[in-house]
């Protein structure tokens, strides 16, 4: 039988199929070799069970992206498309596996660093004007003469007042290489013309300990905002200082703490847990991602009343600390159920400077409780979980939280605790509904109370400086006329005036405005001292840490 002639040769076209087939086979071989090299150099070895599917998926994506780039009707941003595709792919896995492009690495990494290069200014945006809340004590801005209430008109010659820049953009303008300088144009009350100052940038501490002070002669309060690179050392120093002042009982505030470095969190927990008891363990795909962390050192505060404050914003490493202390009956947990983020992400640097943070395991508390709340493929539904808790009444009543009986566990002394998503406190405190009311939230979002406080501070600076904080705290009160003035100023900024809402929020607003004035005039500790008066969760925690009956019950006596 005669051999048939390929149709493409009959039509006079070049014979390509055989070469194309050879090319594809060669490409697959090269890809397989490349995968082998990547695996060899990658400590996070992917499963070898199905390498062909991975290769086919890679080639499919590459082929489609090539066609889009070459043949699509309009010009396209292929890198942007690739980023989008990767992010959508990771969302299918779980809510916390993420890809961070190279352009965003510095910003995301800065959150977990304990210092940065800058000028040391805490600022607020009000009516699209950058206003200094306070220069960092001893920092370059303070040494250059920057004062609370100064309005920043331009940075390095760039107009920023009325420019509709975000806080992140303004922060980026202030930061820069250590030793370089940045020029600021400032407007200061009572001066006829603006001021120009040149501020040298230097290393600025970015502490994760927001406050550490004695509430009374025995009771210490430490607020940890995140678990950054320097958190453990900062915490040790703060705790040692309070011990020297007479601390015998402690309130540890982890509200709103989104987590961070796990090892800093476990070392902090080790300061409270005696012996060699387990703090946390992880379970992943294969033994290489399984780990168990135990207490190792003689801690600074292994005995003595301890209360930990948590809420729906406490997540990840913060939940690890709360769960370990609760499982070992070392602390009373006060507040509301935590976020429920118990997936372990491993940072994997990529060749283009980006980073993949891939979920490789799950966190479990010492008694075996899973911290991670349930999730599915719907990322939007997962991210709205806290809003759903509010809608279901969980933030107002402990009875609205339901746990499956099969997720019941026992602490060291036999108390019942539950797994399946977040850490449920031992003492529930409902969320302050006024602090989350629409009017109060709008005022805070627009920065109206802080702007009013800064203006008041500038007007009465000499009088405030003549008072000790104790005198100010005992005698100062925001008047009804000042509240009305606040509402009027906020209305000019688009917050619709509501006399009834102002009246209902009056106590909270007075407290917040007074705290902001104290922040400008006296510092951070006075700020937190004033806020304590209307902090329902902290008030309950202070009661629990001083309640000997509750502490004995915790110890099973």
Of the residues 97, 316, 370, 520, only one is catalytic, namely 316
Of the residues 94, 150, 311, 327, only one is catalytic, namely 327
Catalytic site includes residue 236: no
> Can you tell me the distance from the alpha carbon of 85 to that of 61, in angstroms, rounded to the nearest whole number?
9
Q: How is residue 433 written in tokens? A: 């509904």
> Can you tell me the distance from the alpha carbon of 33 to that of 39, in angstroms, rounded to the nearest whole number?
10
- Cβ atoms of residues 369 and 417 within 8 Å: yes
Place of tokens 């040692």: 240
DSSP label of 353: S
Catalytic site includes residue 514: no
Q: How is residue 10 written in tokens? A: 């009959």
Of the residues 223, 278, 341, 514, only one is catalytic, namely 341
Phi-psi category of 357—alpha, beta or left, where left has phi over 0 and alpha has psi -120 to 50? Answer: beta
In angstroms, the first-to-last Cα distance of the chain is 97
- Cβ atoms of residues 357 and 341 within 8 Å: no
Element (H, E) at 269: helix 262-270
Q: Which of 505, 529, 508 is nearest to 518 (CA)?
A: 529
Burial class (CB in 10 A: 0-12, 13-18, 19+), 382: middle
Catalytic site includes residue 223: no
Q: How many CB atoms lie within 10 A of CB 381?
A: 12
Q: Which residues are identified as catalytic?
A: 316, 327, 341
């Amino acid at each position: 039988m005669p051999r048939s002639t390929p149709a493409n040769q009959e039509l006079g076209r070049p014979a390509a199929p055989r070469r194309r087939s050879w090319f594809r086979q060669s490409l697959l071989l090269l890809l397989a070799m490349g995968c082998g090299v990547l695996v060899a150099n990658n400590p996070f070895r992917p499963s070898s069970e199905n390498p062909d599917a991975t290769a086919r998926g890679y080639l499919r994506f590459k082929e489609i992206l090539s066609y889009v780039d070459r043949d699509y009707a309009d010009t396209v941003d292929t890198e942007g498309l690739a980023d989008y595709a990767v992010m959508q792919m990771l969302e299918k896995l779980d809510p916390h596996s993420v890809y961070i492009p190279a352009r965003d690495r510095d910003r995301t990494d800065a959150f977990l660093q304990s210092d940065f290069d800058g000028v040391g200014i805490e600022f607020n945006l009000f009516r699209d004007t950058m206003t200094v809340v306070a220069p960092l004590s001893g920092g370059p801005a303070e040494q250059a003469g920057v004062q609370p209430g100064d309005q920043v008109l331009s940075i390095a010659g760039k107009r920023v007042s009325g420019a509709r820049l975000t806080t992140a953009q303004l922060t980026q303008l202030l930061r820069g290489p250590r030793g370089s300088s940045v020029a600021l144009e400032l407007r200061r009350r009572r001066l006829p013309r603006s001021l120009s100052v040149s501020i040298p940038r230097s290393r600025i501490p970015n502490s994760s300990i927001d406050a550490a002070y004695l509430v009374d002669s025995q009771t210490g309060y430490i607020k940890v905002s995140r678990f950054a690179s320097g958190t453990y050392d900062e915490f040790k120093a703060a705790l040692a200082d309070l011990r020297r002042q007479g601390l015998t009982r402690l309130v540890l505030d982890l509200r709103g703490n989104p987590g961070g470095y796990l090892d800093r969190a476990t070392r902090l927990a080790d300061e409270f847990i005696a012996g060699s008891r387990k703090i946390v363990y992880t379970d992943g795909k294969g033994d290489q991602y399984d780990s168990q962390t135990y207490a190792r050192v003689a801690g600074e505060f292994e005995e003595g009343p301890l209360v930990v404050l948590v809420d729906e914003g406490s997540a990840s490493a913060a939940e690890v600390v709360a769960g370990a202390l609760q499982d070992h009956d070392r602390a009373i947990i006060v507040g509301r159920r935590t976020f429920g983020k118990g997936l372990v992400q491993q940072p994997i640097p990529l060749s283009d400077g980006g980073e993949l943070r891939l979920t490789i395991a799950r966190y479990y508390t010492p008694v075996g409780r899973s911290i991670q709340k349930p999730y599915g493929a719907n990322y939007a539904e997962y991210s709205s979980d806290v809003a759903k808790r509010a809608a279901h009444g969980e933030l107002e009543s402990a009875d609205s939280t339901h746990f499956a009986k099969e997720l019941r566990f026992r602490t060291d002394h036999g108390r019942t605790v539950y797994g399946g998503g977040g850490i449920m406190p031992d003492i529930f405190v409902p969320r302050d509904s006024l602090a989350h009311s629409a009017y109060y939230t709008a005022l805070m979002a627009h920065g109206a109370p802080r702007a009013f406080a800064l203006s008041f501070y500038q007007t009465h600076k000499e009088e405030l400086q003549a008072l000790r904080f104790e005198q100010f705290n005992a005698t100062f009160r925001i008047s009804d006329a000042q509240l009305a003035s606040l509402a009027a100023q906020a209305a000019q900024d688009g917050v619709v005036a509501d006399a009834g809402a102002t009246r209902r929020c009056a106590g909270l607003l007075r407290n917040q405005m007074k705290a902001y004035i104290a922040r400008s005039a006296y510092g951070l500790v006075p700020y937190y001292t004033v806020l304590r008066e209307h902090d329902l969760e902290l008030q309950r925690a202070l009661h629990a840490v001083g309640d000997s009956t509750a502490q004995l019950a915790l110890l099973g006596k």
